[in-house]
Amino acid sequence: MPIDILMPALSPTMEEGNLAKWLVKEGDSVSSGDVIAEIETDKATMEVEAVDEGTIGKIVVDEGSEGVKVNAVIAVLLEDGEDVGAISASQATPSPAPATPSVETPDAPVAAASPAPAPAAPVADGKRVFSSPLARRIASQEGLDIAKIAGTGPHGRVVKRDVDAALASGTGKADAATPEKTVPAAAPAQAPVGMSDETVLKLFDEGSYDIVPHDGMRKTIAARLTESSQTIPSYFVTVDCELDALLALRKDINGAAPVVDEKPAYKVSVNDFVIKAMALALKAVPETNASWTTSGMVVHKHADVGVAVAIEGGLITPIVRKAETKTLSTISNEVKDLAGRAKSKKLAPTEYQGGTTAVSNLGMFGVKEFTSIINPPHASIVSIGEGVQRPVVKEGELAVATMMTATFAFDHRVIDGAVGAQLASAFKGFIQNPMSMLV
């Protein structure tokens, strides 16, 4: 009997992905464990392995397809002795696209901020009229009956250009005597947030700009940061840390690195010390090593420290698990590996999802200090500025020291002010006494 090959869920929260590339073709024989395709999520590209052995009888979803739902049939595998005639019509047909995609079609750009909720989907003659949220909103504002507008979008969906055409031709006017039937909204409408796409574009001269559609990563970043800024009551704590002892120890550690294949086995960076210091500070002040849920506080047993890595088109935060238990050289090599694979989108979701805190370092760009937005489920993040020589007062005398500014953001639901100050103080202690991180 033909076996369906389904779109895999690469993480607990994944709902859809892009089928980036097929590594097999129809008629190819595969065995369990063979890599057959590459799937893209918003921040990673993952390989899909065959579970069973047989022959690829039908590729249902073409490579390059976007928004493929989890558990949708993407291909059909034939067992020994079967031919393509055994494949049913339903198996050979791609799953239908969702009736109302959350992303507007190319005739209108996607808003960077959360868009205003559109009117509920209309019903005509007992059947739902497929239309985009933007089209429904404009039709409602202009007094048009969207059920009377012919759709030219995918699957006959009414999109913005159809509403514009109806406005220009004067068709599609709603019947005042017969109110439009609608599907009940799932939740009460909320007030619009920010300016609409149309309002923004009217501020610029036509032809003076290009619209670059948001990719999955940018949409995810926008959604996560909007969620953070709207739901997490954050506060900030800043400390200055003297780096001279750390820099001297770093030089000694790197100088003692064994040579393997004509290269040092490791090269520890200041950021590696920062990661270890943050992990040890979380263990020293265990109340801060927690995450918020409405039902209770999630208190973590280990310090899993995320490291912000800039990649093309966005940002990702791979995680150093159990960082408090690892040596500086291990952290250094692990971060280099994670960052390298992050930039080529080869991280598994388990390598960048979760974590208990994060480190963001812009010191290499000459930034003195800055603040960061907390990335849920974290309850904290530390922002690291450049280490520079500054005049300081030591024992009543003026001196010069290499100083680094660290700014902490805390979720006040989890970490109260005094507790956050304790974490910042513990972090500063480890940075200024770096030998304590080697014990």
Is 302 a known active-site residue?
Answer: no
Strand partners, 22: 37
Cα–chain center distance at 347: 12
**Under 8 Å CB-to-CB from 27, ≥6 apart: which residues?**
55, 56
φ/ψ region of 42 (left if φ > 0, alpha if ψ in -120 to 50, else beta) reads alpha
Helices 328-343 and 270-284, axial angle in degrees (round to 10): 110
On the CB side of 326, how many CA atoms lie within 13 Å of its CA? 24
Q: What's the CA gap between 182 and 139, in Å, rounded?
A: 13
Q: What's the CA gap between 74 and 66, in Å, rounded?
A: 12
The active-site residue out of 155, 214, 300, 412 is 412
Cα angle 252, 266, 429; round to 5: 55
Contacts 24+ apart (CB under 8 A), 159-168: 159/104, 159/105, 159/107, 159/108, 159/131, 159/132, 159/134, 159/135, 160/104, 160/105, 160/107, 160/108, 160/132, 160/134, 160/135, 161/107, 162/135, 163/135, 163/138, 163/139, 164/138, 166/139, 167/142
Q: Which helix (H) or strand (E) holds 292?
A: strand 290-293
Catalytic residue set = 412
